[in-house]
Structure 1
């Protein structure tokens, strides 16, 4: 049940959403002003380009393919999408960290391959945990989270009961993503593309923290 949600899950989703918010802010401020942690806008842009197929069309298509490949990699590493302590989230997070560092290095060299590495990293993260006790968990965008929060608000106004732990989980994700955007907005004018080092480092630290948690709970 969602009421039995361990606190490490809430903290973990907050930090995942935070690093996604930072990554996406870099995309909006520097990657041709495109979102990279979610693909709704990219898919729309791709649709507008299909009638006049050109290099931009291929670029948008490769961003989408990279995101899908990242999600597939997550499935190969972690397995089932339902959250469970003991799965290899640490290994997946290390790969995500490596992809973000690679994106930073390649983008600094002027190559568009950095966009694809960053998109794959976001796809990998989004595929890590998709459900927990009936709650949909997406940490790279907040459209669904804000929709669910709106539904909960409507239920509360009608006097219906709401799941407080689920509410807390969604609030952690929403505030984490927004706060990540704030961090990215602050550091991008200073570090530019190198701002990606922040979410990449957070990914590695989160992987380390999860590994330590597993060790302490004899779950490795």
Structure 2
């Protein structure tokens, strides 16, 4: 009985975090975990491929610059990254909306499980590394980033995002500006949204810690650094996707 109780706790936690019933608290907790994974995958992917895979602004600039200069191969690589990110976001939206239309409890677990599979497959890079594989890996990581950002955006109804660090840092600056304005002009009625600022700072910190973890993970494990990240995604999604057994019910 005690063993079942120990099993129930992590299963129940995962079902709450990825369940169909949402709250600001569960959205924030899930977003923090996903921001950490995004930071780790982004940094590890850079050391593996020499490219950041969540930086779509950079890829848009790279595509335009290389297209203008006639470097068509580099322009094509940037376009591949952009289209992969968009495709990942579209795939996540499709899965979640399909699940909502069927009133499925697993609607949010589907894209997380797919991201786990793709991250796990990235670990084969040490054995299969080649020019074609590098392009496939770039597309796969950008697809994952698009899926993840769209997943938390859909789950939270656009309250939070995880890979869009530029937007989060901009919003932090806005809230700091509001706080300064409120101090300098106390009668203005302007003040920082402290709850929003706390959430933004936490997500940026999680992304940063994830980036450090991903860089160190790649240095120690090579392409295998993606396996623990895939495991974390599976730990979130599989308890929701696997049917409950009568001996370990959480309800």
- Residue 63 of structure 2 is matched in structure 1 by 46
Matching residue of 1:21 = 39
Normalising by the residue count of structure 1, what TM-score does the alignment of the two structures yield?
0.83
1:206 to 219, 227, 236: 236
Equivalent position of 2:213 in the other structure: 183
Does the residue aligned with 2:37 lie in a helix, a strand or coil?
helix
TM-score normalised by the chain length of structure 2:
0.73
Q: For 1:202 and 1:99, how far apart are their aligned partners in 2? A: 13
1:39-62: CA deviation from partner (whole Å, max 9, x where unpaired): 111222222211324333222211
Give the superposition deviation at 1:146.
0.9
Match of 1:164 among 189, 194, 206: 194
Q: Hey, what's the Cα distance between the residues in 2 that align with 1:170 and 1:205? A: 25
- 2:170 matched to 1:147? yes
Cα distance in 2 for residues equivalent to 1:106 and 1:156 = 47
* Residue in structure 1 matched with residue 77 of structure 2 by the alignment: 59
Q: Is the counterpart of residue 98 in structure 1 residue 128 in structure 2?
A: no
Q: Distance in 2 between matches of 1:62 and 1:101?
A: 21
* CA–CA separation in structure 1 for the residues paired with 2:128 and 2:158: 44
Q: Paired residue for 2:10?
A: none
Q: 1:69 to 1:157 in 2, by over 3 A?
A: same
Give ranges in structure 1 of 5+ residues lacking alignment: none
Distance 2:35 2:127 in 1: 25
Deviations 1:81-138 (A, max 9, x none): xxxx956111110001111122332564111211111111111111113274773x22
Among 107, 123, 127, which residue is 1:88 paired with? 107
**Cα pair 2:153 2:161 within 8 Å, conserved:** yes
**Number of residue pairs the alignment of both structures matches:** 207
SS in structure 2 of the partner of residue 37 of structure 1 = coil
Q: Give the CA deviation at 1:191.
A: 1.2
Q: Whole-Å Cα distance in 1 between the matches of residues 202 and 23 of structure 2?
A: 13
- Residue-by-residue CA offset, 1:173-217 (whole Å, 9 max, x unaligned): 1111000011112222111222122322221122246669xx857
Asked which structure has the greater CA Rg, the reply is: 2
